[in-house]
Amino acid sequence: MDVDEAWSIGARIRRLRRGALMTQDDLAAAAGVSTDLVRKLEQGRRHTASIGSLHRIASALDVDLGELLGRDNMPKVAPDAGVVALRQAVADVADLLGDVDGEPLSLRDAQRSVSYLWGAYWSGKYEELTGLIPQTLIGLRALFHTTNTTTRARAAEQLAWGYWVAGSTLIHLLQPDAAFMAIRRAIDVAGSGDDALLAAALKGSLSWQLMVSGRFTDAERVAIRTAQAIEPHGQVDAQDLSAYGSLLVTAATAAARDHRRAQASTLLQAAREVAQRVGCDRVDYETPFGPCQVTMQTVDVHVVTEDYPAALEVAARMPANPGLPLAARCRHLTDRACAHANLYQQDQALALLLTAEGMAPDWIRHQTLVRSVVADLLTAERRKSTPLRQLATRIGVHR
């Protein structure tokens, strides 16, 4: 953050503090930070603070981190620099050398930080994440290496969550090697915890990353083996069913991309039956699952296998307000746009893409499928200035 941004943050802290009728001492006491830190931030003499301190100040002021920093004043870096910093963060070797430094987050701040990062991820705010994740990982690693045996498992789980969101973000930034490293580190760290479903969800994410990298057979094998290991029997909690069903969906998606339509159909039917048992849409372990998710992935499978009429027929069954995270809803709109475009229904395709852009403008700029559909639509566009060409310019597609 530069000086102007730091001053903006300090001015915002001062305004929020005064609005809450708090003195600097009051805020420092409520946040568990020093009055000197609050004073220097407000005066612009301190240009940053640890992610944990910022979270505690935000909590004391009864706002979230985004409101404290200002949505337009999140840590900003050039996209390339942000990617480099994130790659370096997941490839850090200090822990191997016993040289971990940085301010440890408390368990509470670790949970809050990780929750905030995942919220930004599902909103498609990848550039914001490149600024926040590296600093958060420092605090999570320091917590893991300084915690006692009583809380070590919980600290391990939070660090695993941190590596997981880093890996998921890196995939969207077209950094598959670093993403793979991050998710493998997450799996290794999660082994120090006690949560079997977290370990399964991480392997599901690894399967997704393998699929994105074109390793369809490996992706399906990881998803199916992991699903078999946690297959629920008898009366079980909804989150157990959700974790299992999500792995079936991932395996089906991988099979479809490997041109094995029958296998994909069988796996989707099994996932559909699990979703009926769950009965509603859920997000467990940052992984959506339920009837809407199965519908969404069925559409995706039809698009991948180029059965576009079937894709739109299934899409018509999706509720108007599906219980899916924002990024998932936008992906579904993009799949529908792809189907329309391939059926030469350009107006419908463009309308869906513009809707997705309106919902998540940050997300859409990083989506390969969006760029591909826009490029295809441009081949039939003869006018110089149209909503389609304007969209193409905004997402960097030139033809």
Q: By C-alpha distance, which of 114, 127, 155, 166 is closest to 285?
A: 114
pLDDT at 55 exceeding the cut of 80: no
pLDDT at 219 exceeding the cut of 90: yes
pLDDT at 179 exceeding the cut of 50: yes
Report how many domains make up the chain: 4
Please tell me whether residues 184 and 224 are part of one structural domain.
no
62-66, 187-191, 216-220, 327-331: least confidently modelled range: 62-66
- Determine if the pTM surpasses 0.85: no
At 152-161, the pLDDT tens digits run 889 999 999 9
Domain that holds residue 136: 77-192
Residue 5 is predicted with a pLDDT of 42
- Of 307, 324, 341, the residue at which a domain comes to its end is 324
Please tell me whether residues 119 and 136 are part of one structural domain.
yes
Please tell me whether residues 158 and 200 are part of one structural domain.
no
Please tell me whether residues 337 and 252 are part of one structural domain.
no
Please tell me whether residues 200 and 281 are part of one structural domain.
yes
**CATH number of the domain within which 34 lies:** 1.10.260.40
- Binning pLDDT at 50, 70 and 90, where does residue 150 land? confident
Percent of the chain predicted with pLDDT > 70: 89
Please tell me whether residues 199 and 320 are part of one structural domain.
yes
| DSSP-derived secondary structure letter, 124 | T
Helix (H) or strand (E) holding 56: helix 51-60
- Of 169, 192, 215, the residue at which a domain comes to its end is 192
Please state, in angstroms and rounded to a whole number, the distance separating the CA atoms of residues 122 and 373.
22
Residue 365 is predicted with a pLDDT of 87
Which of residues 357 and 174 earns the better pLDDT score? 357
- Of 192, 217, 245, the residue at which a domain comes to its end is 192
Please tell me whether residues 91 and 129 are part of one structural domain.
yes
Please state, in angstroms and rounded to a whole number, the distance separating the CA atoms of residues 119 and 38.
26
Please tell me whether residues 126 and 149 are part of one structural domain.
yes
Residue 87 is predicted with a pLDDT of 92
Please tell me whether residues 287 and 268 are part of one structural domain.
yes
